[in-house]
Structure 1
Amino acid sequence: MNLKTKTFVLTALLATQFLYLKAQNCESYFPMKLGATWEVKSYDAKDKLTGTNNSKITKSDGTTNNLSATVSFESFDNKNVSQGTGEYIIKCSNGVFSVDMKSMLNSKTMEVYKDMDITVTGDEMEMPSAPTVGQTLKDANLAIIVNGGMTMMNLTMKLYNRKVAAIETVTTPAGTFENCVKITYDATTNMMFKVETSGMDWYAKNIGMVKSESYDSKGKKISSSVLTSIKQ
């Protein structure tokens, strides 16, 4: 996988895995039930498997308007070889969901930079609990700075033109999900060179992301992800 492809994949991964929600209560577009497990598979432009991500809610507590859940995950490549594990916490306070983006970096990614100073900063993406078609959502930015003495790497990403494009029914290997919120966006990533992409994600209430597609600047599909199983 070359650097340009990796940049595409990183853009899609961060765009689809990170979620911040504003709601009347803590009903969400993300599973919160203790023990819930789900699997997402990713594919390249030719629909060949590139990786799998398995997640599980390992801790969940709180009240209707104040919840927190710990998500443990493990990523695998196309040969089912583990690429690392990680853990992040989803929080809800008075109807506001948030998750720390930098905590979603897996252990193998962090191991590469174990002798370096890494800083991750970014905005929180948001989505309303009762989205309406045509609604515009806020932009989001991410910056990763790695400093290893003589070696430095900067990666920045901006998601913009985020809109609620439609409410649709989506079918994946995990089942058929009605009233999925379709979010479209444009993305600009800078890491040695500038890459412009676009994408669309589908979210189901209390399930999370069920489908995602990414496209290059010419509108050609470069990657996709689908929910392949979920147990709650």
Structure 2
Amino acid sequence: MSPGQNLEYQLLDGKGKALGTWRYRVVNVGVDSVASKKGKTTSVASVQVKSGLYDTGNNVLAQQDLTFFCRNDTTFTDGLGIINYDALKSFKNRRLSYQATPIAWPNHPTAASALPNGGVLVQVSSPSVAIAKVETTQRARKVSGERVSVTVPAGTFSCYPVESQREVSTAARADLVLKNTGRQIDYYDPAVGIVKTEQYDSRGKLVQSRLLSKR
């Protein structure tokens, strides 16, 4: 990524009908030296990104400031990037605080290797009381195969399929948790990033896909 770079993804439903567009703009790239507990210095490259979700009429539905970073042999995308806005619709005008866990993408993936969980927890509250916790998580992540050729509107790329269990939960209290679980496949090219994403429901039906359309 480089400052001023733009990325765009088409968002489609399970039947291929357009739902909207995600747009990303790189605003800053920096490199810092970070010292570990053992005194070893590691260079960390960080990327500040502004993103926006637009409907088919080009109206803004959501906006995010994201931070990606690269350390050693792994790139990390911002856990905020997978937030489920539909799960937050019923909490309009409430206070929202975010706790994101970065999502790891190895620069040199190997088939059948496991990857850490990642996602975002949103604490919903009013000025006087906590209301609910809304969490979007990708669990049981793994590189499920060797590289495959993936064609999207932006071109054809050589990608690793990364499968995970995607879980969206809303907890009003400890004994009242609503969960929606499905499967997700991300097609990942280490030189480009995420090229294509497919989301399936618990019955294995494709419900949504996201395709890299401009780069």
**Matched AA of 1:72:** K
The aligned counterpart of 1:132 is 110
More strand per residue:
2
The aligned counterpart of 1:214 is 199
Aligned residue for 1:126, secondary structure, equals strand
**Matched AA of 1:184:** E
What is the distance in 1 between the residues matched to 2:204 and 2:100?
Answer: 27
What is the distance in 2 between the residues matched to 1:134 and 1:41?
Answer: 29
Q: Which has the higher contact order (CA 8 A, sep 6+)?
A: 1
Report the CA distance between 1:208 and its aligned residue. 1.4
| Residue of structure 2 aligned with 1:90, choices 58, 68, 72 | 68
The 1:153/1:78 distance shift into structure 2, 3 A limit, reads: farther
The aligned counterpart of 1:197 is 182
Deviation string 1:57-83 (CA, Å, 9 cap, x unpaired) is: 122233894322221222201222122
The aligned counterpart of 1:159 is 138
Choose 164-173 or 74-83, whichever is displaced more: 74-83
Report the CA distance between 1:40 and its aligned residue. 0.3
The 1:174/1:133 distance shift into structure 2, 3 A limit, reads: same
Report the CA distance between 1:113 and its aligned residue. 7.0
Aligned residues of 2:163 and 2:185 also touching (Cα < 8 A):
yes
- 1:134-153 matched pairs, under 5 angstroms: 134-148=112-126, 149=128, 152-153=131-132
Report the CA distance between 1:137 and its aligned residue. 1.3
Q: What are structure 1's unaligned runs of at least 5 residues?
A: 1-31
- 1:22-171 matched pairs, under 5 angstroms: 32-62=1-31, 65-95=43-73, 97-98=75-76, 100-102=78-80, 116-148=94-126, 149=128, 152-166=131-145, 167-171=147-151
Report the CA distance between 1:34 and its aligned residue. 2.0
**Matched AA of 1:154:** K
**Matched AA of 2:199:** S
The aligned counterpart of 1:176 is 156
Aligned residues of 2:112 and 2:142 also touching (Cα < 8 A):
yes
Aligned residues of 2:20 and 2:53 also touching (Cα < 8 A):
yes
Aligned residue for 2:115, secondary structure, equals coil
Deviation string 1:37-56 (CA, Å, 9 cap, x unpaired) is: 11101111121111101111
**Normalization by structure 2: what TM-score?**
0.77
The 1:62/1:39 distance shift into structure 2, 3 A limit, reads: same
The aligned counterpart of 1:3 is none
Aligned residues of 1:65 and 1:95 also touching (Cα < 8 A):
no
Choose 187-196 or 71-80, whichever is displaced more: 187-196
The aligned counterpart of 1:13 is none
The 1:172/1:58 distance shift into structure 2, 3 A limit, reads: same
**Normalization by structure 1: what TM-score?**
0.72
